[in-house]
């Protein structure tokens, strides 16, 4: 069972780059690392996913070192609307299904 | 972009009553999930469903819970004889394949309030 550890909260300012690091020491060989964003009273939204090295999409970048025991979500030039809870997940594969184990996430506050 | 939709957005029910939460997964998705989130707490896995049967369930998903895919589009969660502690946000999710590299797509949830 691959658990994750993230900072409980972070503060930032508009226009800054935000890096949220997650540790997952017991990640399994076949597991991918996935990050979700959640606004109050909404469902989690998929941000980015990776297996190793670096992944970039239009929203964020994900950096994964060679040992895969941690990962860093990078949000470039955050805005007020990026204030949300960010979850790092490593799914437990059970047969053909993937049961996501959630932590408390990182509550990011972006200030003007 | 296709979305997972859930109805109702808010359900208020008397303790002891039955409630059915409805979800319409993304149309070409094959794997379905229910999660719940008690206010201020973690998102918790309840159950996964594939090929018209439960694939896995958590210890939360006891005999008062059941899931069904009554037709080709809906996926429902039924809670029989609701308790106060069932009050939570319930999220439905779906994924195209069950492999580890397929992200789950979530609906915006149903807020269930038990009185």
CATH code of the domain covering residue B79: 2.60.40.10
- Using CA coordinates, name the residue in chain A closest to B96: A97
> For B18-30, what is the mean pLDDT?
94
At residue A28, the pLDDT reads 85
Contact state of B55 with A44 under an 8 Å Cβ cutoff? no
The answer to whether residue A43 is domain-embedded is: yes
With bands split at pLDDT 50, 70 and 90, how would you rate the model's confidence at B98? low
Q: CB of B4 within 8 Å of any CB in chain A?
A: yes
CA dist B71 and A38 (Å) reads 30
- Mean pLDDT rounded to a whole number for chain B: 92
The percent helix, strand, coil of chain A (3-state, each to 5) is 5, 50, 45
**In this predicted structure, which of A71-80, B61-70, B100-109 has the lowest mean pLDDT?**
B100-109
CATH code of the domain covering residue A50: 2.60.40.10
What is the per-residue burial (b if ≥16 Cβ within 10 Å, else e) of A14-41?
eeeebebebebeebeeebbbbbbbbeee
Structural domain harbouring A60: 9-111
When divided into structural domains, chain B yields a total of: 1
The answer to whether residue A1 is domain-embedded is: no
The answer to whether residue A53 is domain-embedded is: yes
Q: CB of A52 within 8 Å of any CB in chain B?
A: no
Cis omega (within 30 of 0) for bond into B8:
yes
When divided into structural domains, chain A yields a total of: 1
Q: In a mutagenesis test of the A interface, which of B42, B54, B100, B102 is the best target, namely the one with the most A β-carbons within 10 Å?
A: B100
- Using CA coordinates, name the residue in chain B closest to A34: B103
The answer to whether residue A95 is domain-embedded is: yes
Structural domain harbouring B32: 5-114
The answer to whether residue A59 is domain-embedded is: yes
């Amino acid at each position: 069972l691959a658990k994750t550890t993230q900072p409980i909260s972070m503060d930032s300012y508009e226009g800054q780059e935000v890096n949220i690091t997650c540790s997952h020491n017991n990640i399994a060989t076949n597991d991918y690392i996935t990050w979700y964003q959640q606004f109050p009273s909404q469902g989690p939204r998929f941000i980015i996913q990776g297996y190793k090295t670096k992944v970039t999409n239009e929203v964020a970048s994900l950096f994964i070192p060679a040992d895969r025991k941690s990962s860093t979500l990078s949000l470039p030039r955050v805005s007020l609307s990026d204030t949300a809870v960010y979850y790092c997940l490593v799914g437990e594969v059970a047969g053909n299904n993937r049961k996501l184990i959630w932590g408390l996430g990182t509550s990011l506050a972006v200030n003007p | 972009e296709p979305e997972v939709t859930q109805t109702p957005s808010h359900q208020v029910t008397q303790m002891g009553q039955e409630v059915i939460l409805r979800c319409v997964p993304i149309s070409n998705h094959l794997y379905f999930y229910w999660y719940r989130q008690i206010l201020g707490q973690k998102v918790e896995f309840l159950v996964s469903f594939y090929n018209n049967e439960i694939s896995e369930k958590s210890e939360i998903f006891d005999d008062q819970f059941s899931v069904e895919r009554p037709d080709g589009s809906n996926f429902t969660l039924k809670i029989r004889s609701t308790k106060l502690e069932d009050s939570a946000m319930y999220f439905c999710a779906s994924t195209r394949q069950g492999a580890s590299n397929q992200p789950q797509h979530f609906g915006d949830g149903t807020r269930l309030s038990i009185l």
